[in-house]
Structure 1
Amino acid sequence: MSTEKKEMPEVISSIDWKWLAKLMLTSRAMDDKEENELVPNKDVLYQFSARGHELGQILLGSQLTHQHDAASAYYRSRPLMLSLGLSLEDAMAAPMGKSGGYSDGRDIGVVCNKPGLDGPTVLPMAGDVGSQYTPAIGWAQGIQYHQNELEEGEYDRAISVVLGGEGSVATNGFWSALTIATTQDLPVLFYVEDNGYGISVPGEFQTPGGNIANNLYSFKNIRIFDGDGTDPVEAADLINQSVNYVRDRKGPALIHLTMPRLNGHSYQDNQAYKPEELIQEEQQNDPLDSLKSFLVPDRFSDDDWNEFKDNAEQDIEEASEAALSRPAPDATTTKRYAFAEKKEDGSLDTQLVGGLAPSKHTFPESSEAPEPEKQRINIVEAIRRTLDYELETNPKVMVFGEDVGAKGGVHAATMGLQTKYGDERVFDTSLSEEGIIGRSVGLAYSGLMPVAEIQFRKYADPATEQLNNCGTIRWRTANQFAAPIVVRMPGGFAKCGDPWHSLSNEVFFAHAVGWQIVMPSNAQDAVGLLRSAMRSNNPTVFFEHRNLLDAKYARKPYPGDHYVVPIGKANMLQEGEDLTIVTWGAMCEQVENAVSKMDVSADIIDLRSIMPWDKQAVLESVRQTNRCLIVHEDTQTAGFGAEISAVLSQEAFKYLDAPIERLTMPDIPVPYNVGLMDSVLPTSDKIIDKIESLVAF
């Protein structure tokens, strides 16, 4: 047997091993305190141990030193947070649901974030597996954009890191992020912690052969690193190599480190699904023991190590006591920050990270008064011209989606924009709605204004997780982060129907916390609403109705480059006395056609915005007309008309001379056959019948 001593990698001499040992012992003491005392006492209600994962995370954190580095982590990443400066008191207080910290008691305590005001940023974590990947991709692309397009040299060598377990490599988010990173050559490091189990499911069920690194060696344009996450020397060397590979702009990289999960998935998990011999083997493979063997006695004595351990336990006792003494979060503020807010002095209560507001970005002047040109344009041209002006005047605007580049969009709304502004600002994406929206979120975090296109409303379904998470960012981080993005989304019936391209379903987004939803019925409103959305500090769904894109009804003169429509302000299409008709989108045309054929005087209100909706305008009208008909294309059960009806029943009941009526699609998809489609859509004839019965009541 050879007794030749293995040469140490150069990085070993640069590591502060005392700091690392103390931090690892501190993380372990934190888990001990929670598992042995705080959880049994019900001071902590959700607990996810990091035991076994600490070594690699702390080594990784020591490498994240650039001011524009970011980590997109997950619920087992507290050691990384500690290595990046999370205070012990905040780390203990958050799982207790106490005030302060990174969510002020709003989110599960291990779901962290860290605004990068004095160092790297930790992007808001999420509780769902795999959703951390595509926002990290957006941040990486943001680094490239700031460096190349905005010529900000301070972004040189910055990187994005995304952490996940071996279970997460089976998710859509992982594969979407991997595709984008490798095809776009982004500065991102995938850090995969493999403890062999996704809760109780073995890794072989997540990826063939159980090792994602082996499966990716054949991938183009990504460097793979694979090793033992319990070996201090090997882990330190591989992490250093992988980080520098990405920093040197050689391309994306993935590091796969094996390690034991020394406790259950969460406190309640007793690991009964594991063979006893495996549990014993994992305990013998504790990276803390490996670290001690490496450091003692060569670098520190047993007494030193014991002192580190005693101090760590004492620090955790003190931090725990201080955290327990914190007050509960102020329940009177729980409803705050679903949307951006203003302070008492009228100034914006700006988030710390995300969107244009933190940089004090200023926009060109705006006006609610249109300056119409002579020629009428359709909605497609209205969208194109608005995007063009905002791209020209705001270098932080990016427009992207499937086929928006050279083709100009499947509806031609982005025609010519890539030629004019280049493919870093107007570009095509891979066919992944998860990737489109998740990437948008990361780009917004990096201080940009992404305008993403989902080709049809139905195609947004795979992006539901990212859309929902985007809307709740401001609330769940207590206004520390926000991701103001615009998602352009055509939908609704057109020359024919079908269950895939003709879906409306705007009520889904009305129920998604934190989202603004606007639905223009004409070209003028399309300009004003899109410009308002692109300058808003909230995420916005801009719904483009397919039947209106080139419709004669929707054509209006271009209202000028400064025209805006305030989000949440309805438009009175015509005034009357007999009844109020509330509608939006393509139904505006049907309603106006119906009323024009009748001897009836009606207030016709085009909501324009579904969230927020103009309650005051509707209430004032109904209090004058005493009757109300709500017409929308979405299905009836729990459609948005039901919300309007409920508000009117509560706040205008004494003014009503007839029941509130709704005319909607039945609870079925839109049929393809034109005759079948017309049989179920709200049409002018059906609206006439409803008006007649309502007025005669």
Structure 2
Amino acid sequence: MAKSKTAKKSTDKFDWKKISELILQSRAMDEKEESELVPQKEVLYQFSARGHELGQVLLGSLLTHKHDAASAYYRSRPLLLSLGLDLEDAMAAPMGKSGGYSDGRDIGVVCNRPDADGPKVLPMAGDVGSQYTPAIGWAQGIEYRRKVLKEKEYDKAISVILGGDGSVATNGFWSALTIATTQNLPVLFYIEDNGYGISVDSEFQTPGGVITNNLRSFSNLRIFDGDGTLPEEAAGLMDEAVNYVRDRKGPAMIRLTVPRLNGHSYQDNQAYKDEKLIQKEKKNDPLIKLEKFMVPDHITKRTWNNWEKKAKEAIEEAAGNALARPQPDKGNTEKFAFDEGELPGIGGLAVEGHEFPESSEEPNPEKQRINIVEAIRRTLKYELETNEKLLVFGEDVGKKGGVHAATMDLQSNFGEDRVFDTSLSEEGIIGRAVGMAYSGLMPVAEIQFRKYADPATEQLNNCGTVRWRTANRFAAPIVVRMPGGFAKCGDPWHSMSNEVFFAHAIGWQVAMPSNAQDAVGLLRSAMRSNNPTMFFEHRNLLDAKYARKPYPGDQYVIPFGKANFLQEGEEITIVTWGAMCERSETAVNNLGVSADIIDLRTLMPWDKDTVISSVQKTNRCLVVHEDNQTAGFGSEIVSAIMKEAFEYLDAPVQRITMPDIPVPYNVGLMESVLPNEEKIAAGIRDIIAF
């Protein structure tokens, strides 16, 4: 901390005319929305930036590197203006008009900027604290491309995170702080401290109310503290903080105190503040202090008034043009939940023209059978060898080789830059993977067990929706490897299946291989896809005799949405996946019935055509899955059959599933509730006898 020293630092490097114009434009936008557009219901959600403008515009003026990126939040519109956000787009977005950074799909101040030739603004989110870990991934992407890929154009690039004082209580903040400091990443945390998280003051967010006071013992973190309403002090501190990170001295945090001159949102009347505090904050307006700084030492009062007038005129014109824009095309509303062949502005390998080795849907099997663990390891190894932008990471994937040994020896073969351990934070694992994908890498992240993904739900959901939310301006193709399901025993923590959660998550592909050959083909397809993929590795199949198949070759891929016939027959269709494939086959063989047994292999997308065609042939269907029954994915299959093949049915479609309870630890209890051969066989008999 060097407050007095930096406060005296020369501010000549800043274009104060431009800074003043941008702040005046931002203020005029807020006034236009608050006084007219919101009352007239032209703007339905409004988040004022009043009081926050100075620090953001100063920061934006210092983000000059092509590969700089800022990860901000819903009060960060002044930053976007400083980086070149078009005024009409800025006004049109809160109106939900066409164009702009979401084409009417997202709240207007949830911005993004995918400028290929200038600083980027990573897609914002409406949830507090979720902006932190993707920015860490971007920073790690910078360093990987700079150090490992030797791309000199990434020298001096930095990642910046903007957050309010309320956000310092979130998992994302602490995870990002841990990763940035332990990995010495080029990250600047900018905390705008206005003293409140909606109506809750800072004392409830962090002990003592000042987050930087609590972080001075953090190794490898430089702290800057100051007043975000004083132009010279804020400029000096911001300049020093940015240069500190840009010069690779380590991560830094700058905390500037600012007033929040309006409520959290338009609807917030700030009744929780007493009148004295409100008046004190108004007197602390950075715009008032900026005017005093500029007049008369730099410009005349008349010039200032002229700037103010021009800003209001510019916003009036922009608002008028925005109001005249057409509504978004309703015919496009469903576009971009998944890749549709149109490259996004930012994110993934395809944007950079990456070319993969030759692939084939025809297997070229070796003689020896291998288990799923070995299949995954060999597939990862080949893709690491042939794709220098692929990285594998998670808890214990390095020297230990993963808790299930799927990454054994990969770190010794490819080094710690490409295969590395992470801190124990699933939020951090997934969030940083998203940021890496934005930076043009292919992250393959491991979550050790399905249940452990719960802390990362926010990042998983945001990753899946980002292409849609930004109207294909951003995408985050990542692969998440996730073991789960029962094994030698059960329990509520390691044995959860719950695949329907990810099938329901927007924008995610979901793969559930039942054998080693399919594991190879689906994992390779996932690592070459333009969509994020959840790759489910069933614990009971990892070393199961049933799942062992010959390695199908380094070119083998399986398209998502293409089911596999385990057996073909005439009397009944059985639709299943994962560990239930073996149990379904055993039940059919023990009964001696003639059945189509379909292994879906992927649930999103799922091969509806194959299922419907089979039901039209057999006239009967049983769906078997390990997940709980209520709202399980089997319900989706049954619904499709009832709609598209009802007239072919000779019996009601039935399901064999887990009951709506967690998996028990005791083996006898576990087997009593899991779908097993006897239950499946009984279901088959009932349907055939109907």
Which TM-score bucket, shorter chain as reference? over 0.9
Q: Which runs of 4+ in 1 moved over 3 A?
A: 5-11
Q: Given that residues 68 and 116 in structure 1 are in contact (C-alpha distance below 8 angstroms), is that contact kept between their aligned partners in structure 2?
A: no
- 2:187 equivalent in structure 1: 188
Q: Residue 565 of structure 1 aligns with which residue? A: 558
Contact 2:7–2:233 (CA under 8 A) maintained in structure 1: no
**Contact 1:232 1:291 survives alignment (8 Å):** yes
The yes-or-no answer on 1:35 pairing with 2:28 is no
| Structure 1 equivalent of residue 175 of structure 2 | 176
Alpha carbons of structure 1 residues 248 and 611: separation in structure 2 relative to 1, 3 Å: same
Provide the alpha-carbon RMSD of the alignment.
0.9
Give aligned-pair identity as a percent.
75
Q: 1:411-455 CA distances to partner (integer Å, 9 max, x unpaired)?
A: 000000000000010000000000000000000000000000000
State the partner residue of 1:582: 575
Q: How far did 1:685 drift? A: 1.1
Q: Is the 8 A contact 1:628 1:661 kept in 2?
A: yes
Corresponding residue of 2:378: 385
Shift of 1:9: 4.1
Match of 1:621 among 614, 619, 633: 614
Residue 454 of structure 1: which of 447, 455, 471 is its match?
Answer: 447
Provide Cα deviations, 1:187-227, integer angstroms capped at 9, x if missing partner. 00000000000000001100011110111111111000000
Cα separation, 1, equivalents of 2:559 and 2:6: 67
Given that 2:467 and 2:475 are in contact with CA atoms closer than 8 Å, whether structure 1 keeps it comes out as yes
Letter of the 1:672 partner, please give it.
Answer: Y
CA distance in 2, matches of 1:643, 1:688: 22
**Does the Cα contact within 8 Å between 1:591 and 1:687 map onto a contact in 2?**
yes
Q: 1:549 to 1:7 in 2, by over 3 A?
A: closer
SS of the residue corresponding to residue 118 of structure 1 reads: coil
Q: Secondary structure at the match of 1:213?
A: helix
Aligned length: 687
Amino acid in structure 1 at the alignment position of 2:94: P
**Residue of structure 2 in register with 1:90 after alignment:** 89
**How far, CA to CA, are the matches of 2:6 and 2:428 in structure 1?**
43
Counterpart of 2:513 (choices 508, 520, 523) is 520
CA contact (8 A) 2:6 2:236 kept: no
Q: Distance in 2 between matches of 1:642 and 1:319?
A: 49
The aligned residue for residue 539 of structure 1 is 532
Matching residue of 2:366: 373
Q: Partners of 1:66 and 1:11 in 2: how far apart?
A: 22
Letter of the structure 1 residue corresponding to residue 27 of structure 2: R
Q: Does 1:350 align with 2:343?
A: yes
1:118 to partner: Cα distance:
2.5
Does structure 2 conserve the Cα–Cα contact (< 8 Å) formed by 1:450 and 1:485? yes
Alignment match, 1:676: 669
1:9-88 alignment runs, 5 A limit: 9-88=8-87
Corresponding position: 1:283 with 2:282:
yes
Counterpart among 598, 601, 606 of residue 608 in structure 1: 601
CA contact under 8 A between 1:102 and 1:478: conserved in structure 2? yes
Contact 1:11 1:240 in 2 (8 A): no
Corresponding residue for 2:689? 696
Aligned residues of 1:569 and 1:614 also touching (Cα < 8 A) = yes
Q: Is the 8 A contact 2:7 2:236 kept in 1?
A: no
1:145-224 residue pairs with structure 2 within 5 A? 145-224=144-223
Amino acid at match of 2:388: P
Residue of structure 1 in register with 2:225 after alignment: 226
Measure, in 2, the Cα distance between the counterparts of 1:388 and 1:313.
59
Structure 1 position 265 matched with structure 2 position 264: yes
**Paired residues of 1:228 and 1:234 also in contact (CA < 8 A):** yes
1:352, 1:310 → 2: CA distance? Answer: 36
User: In 2, distance between residues paired with 1:620 and 1:6?
Assistant: 76
Partner of 2:387 in structure 1?
394
How far 1:308 sits from its partner (Å)? 0.2
**Distance in 2 separating the partners of 1:441 and 1:287:** 35
| Contact kept? 2:7, 2:234, Cα under 8 Å | no
1:654 aligned residue (637, 647, 655): 647
Question: 2-side partners of 1:351 and 1:174: how far apart?
Answer: 28
Q: Residues 7 and 237 of structure 2 are in contact (CA less than 8 Å); yes or no, is this contact kept in structure 1?
A: no
> Any idea what SS the aligned residue of 1:14 has?
coil
Matched, 1:425 2:395: no
**Structure 2 counterparts to residues 288-307 of structure 1, below 5 A:** 288-307=287-306
* Residue number in structure 2 paired with 1:434: 427
CA distance in 2, matches of 1:314, 1:288: 18
Deviation at 1:686, TM superposition (A): 1.0
Question: Once structures 1 and 2 are overlaid, which stretch shifts more, 402-411 or 686-695?
Answer: 686-695
Indicate conservation of the 8 Å contact 2:6/2:237, yes or no. no
The Cα of 1:7 is off from its aligned counterpart by 9.8
SS in 2 for 1:320: helix
Per the TM alignment, residue 639 of structure 1 is displaced from its structure 2 partner at its CA by 0.2
TM norm structure 1: 0.98
Indicate the residue corresponding to 1:243 in structure 2.
242
Which residue in the other structure is 1:345 paired with?
A: none
Change (3 A) 1:7 1:603: closer
Amino acid across the alignment from 2:228: G
Equivalent residues of 1:490, 1:546 under 8 A apart? yes
Distance 1:16 1:680 in 2: 70
Quote the offset at 1:76 in angstroms. 0.1
Task: Give, as a single letter, the amino acid of the residue that structure 1 aligns with 2:302.
Answer: D
**Separation of aligned partners in 2, 1:289 and 1:235:** 15
Shift of 1:120: 0.2
Please say if residues 532 and 565 of structure 1, whose CA atoms lie closer than 8 Å, have aligned partners that are also in contact: yes
Whether the 8 Å CA contact 1:185–1:251 is kept in 2: the answer is yes
Q: 1:597 aligns with which of 585, 590, 599?
A: 590
**Structure 1 gap segments, 5+ residues each:** 342-347
**1:322-341 matched pairs, under 5 angstroms:** 322-341=321-340
Residue identity in the other structure for 1:665: M
Q: 1:618 to 1:8 in 2, by over 3 A?
A: closer
- Superposed CA offset, 1:123-166 (max 9, x none): 00000000000000000000000001110000000000000000
* Letter in structure 2 aligned against 1:268: Q
Q: Distance in 2 between matches of 1:673 and 1:319?
A: 66
- 1:390-422 Cα deviation digits (max 9, x unpaired): 000000000000000000000000000000000
Does residue 493 of structure 1 match 2:492?
A: no
Please, which runs of 5 or more residues in structure 2 have no aligned partner? none
The 1-side partners of 2:5 and 2:491 are apart by: 67
- Deviating more after overlay: 434-443 vs 592-601: 592-601
Map of 1:344 onto structure 2: none
Please report how far the alpha carbon of residue 116 of structure 1 lies from its aligned counterpart in structure 2 after TM superposition. Answer: 2.3
Alpha-carbon distance in 2 for matches of 1:415, 1:675: 33
